Amino acid sequence: MATIPACSANSDKVNAVAADDSKLSPEECAENAYLVHASSNDRVYHIEPGDKLDVDSYLNPEFSQEVTVRPDGMITMRLVGAVRAGGLTPQDLATALNVAYSKELRRPDMTVSVAKMPSREVYVQGQVNKPGGFPLEPGMTALQAIADAGGLTDKAGDKAVLIRRDACGIPGGSPIDLSKATDNPATGEDLALESRDIIVVPRSRIANVDEFVEQYIRDILPVQPYISPTF
């Protein structure tokens, strides 16, 4: 059965690769962990770092703007500056903005909508027919993501690697035996996915998962905690 490493259990080599780029303090790591927990706590969508938001004021259109939620969960708004968005629902954020702008505007009447949710995507790379990012559906598994990516190419190996970051942005890898996942789902090989997961299907067998993740992160995928990669 495949396993997913915990936050503190990732290999030292992979941690060393990511350390220079993540640069998150313990407080920021804890905040990211809270945001991820809040976003998965119920079916109401909670804003996450990396989300693009449309903030509109019908009566004051000059204060309408599109903003991207920073890794620390904050957004920067005209006139009022930094406002916390991460972990809030769009309605909660609109309420907070109305309070912030009420000192400057008679009727702010702010509305917030989520224009793009890269945090709610998974990525499939390597030997698949249509590599890229795909919306994370409830209960989505590795095989379902590979199917969304057009299935395996003729050059695909019999194993894939699931790369997942912890709250500090440190990546860890877990192997997936594609044959076992397909032929015997009860083995647990077909792992359930989380937002921002990356599945890589290499051409050949993988001798060392940690070394594979290290090379992939170093050579292909810039480590940008909670900012979705662009392929």
Domain boundaries 52-116, CATH class: alpha beta
Query: How far apart are alpha carbons 12 and 210 in whole angstroms?
Result: 9
Q: Tens place of pLDDT for every residue, the chain, 231 residues? A: 554 444 444 444 334 334 444 456 776 676 666 555 555 544 578 898 889 999 999 999 999 999 999 989 999 999 999 999 998 999 999 999 999 999 999 999 999 999 988 778 899 999 999 999 998 887 899 999 999 999 999 999 888 999 988 767 778 888 899 999 999 888 889 999 988 899 999 887 766 767 777 777 666 554 444 433 333
| Residue 226 confidence (pLDDT) | 41
Amino acid 64: pLDDT: 96
How many Cα atoms are found within 13 Å in the side-chain-facing hemisphere of 201?
A: 28
Q: Hey, what CATH topology would domain 7-25+118-219 get?
A: Outer membrane lipoprotein wza fold like (3.10.560)
What is the pLDDT, as a whole number, of residue 35?
58
Span(s) in the chain for CATH 3.10.560.10: 7-25+118-219
Q: Nearest to residue 69, comparing CAs of 85, 88, 93?
A: 85
Question: Which part of the chain is CATH 3.30.1950.10?
Answer: 52-116
Query: Is the pTM value of this prediction over 0.85?
Result: no
